[in-house]
Amino acid sequence: MAAMLEALAGALSQGEPARAVRLYGASARLRRTLGVPLPANDWEDYARGTATARALLGDAGFAAMQAVSEAMSLEQAITEALEIEGGGTTSGDYLSTSASLSGRPEPGRRA
């Protein structure tokens, strides 16, 4: 899960730096909780992504987003990761749309 958050954060670091920092922070918190450090071969990508986000947000903006990420629950981090740029759409919306188009109920819901 932490690696997926980090990969998404890296992809977002230029276009959505605040969101990237929140996801990086959530992954770091998850890694601390689980006692699983960032693998050495991932440090370069992590450093590049965080440096890009910091350059775009400035030190104060970067620190503010780190503070937000420290307060996020894992569920909030997952929701943040699932949001699609611009529309606030989540995977749950896609499940609803897919179910309505197929005529089948959403997973976990009865017809």
pLDDT means over runs of 10, the chain (111 residues): 92 94 94 94 95 97 93 89 60 38 43 42
> Is 95 part of a structural domain of the chain?
no
pLDDT at 95: 37
Number of structural domains, the chain? 1
Q: How far from chain centre, in Å, is Cα 97?
A: 23
> Is 100 part of a structural domain of the chain?
no
Closest CA to 62 of 19, 27, 93: 19
Q: How many CB atoms lie within 10 A of CB 43?
A: 11
> Is 68 part of a structural domain of the chain?
yes
Closest CA to 77 of 68, 85, 64: 68
pLDDT at 97: 34
pLDDT at 84: 60
pTM for this one?
0.73
Q: Which domain holds residue 19?
A: 2-83
> Is 53 part of a structural domain of the chain?
yes
> Is 50 part of a structural domain of the chain?
yes
> Is 57 part of a structural domain of the chain?
yes
> Is 9 part of a structural domain of the chain?
yes
- Neighbour-count burial for 81-97, b at 16+ CB within 10 Å, e otherwise: beeeeeeeebeeeeeee
> Is 70 part of a structural domain of the chain?
yes
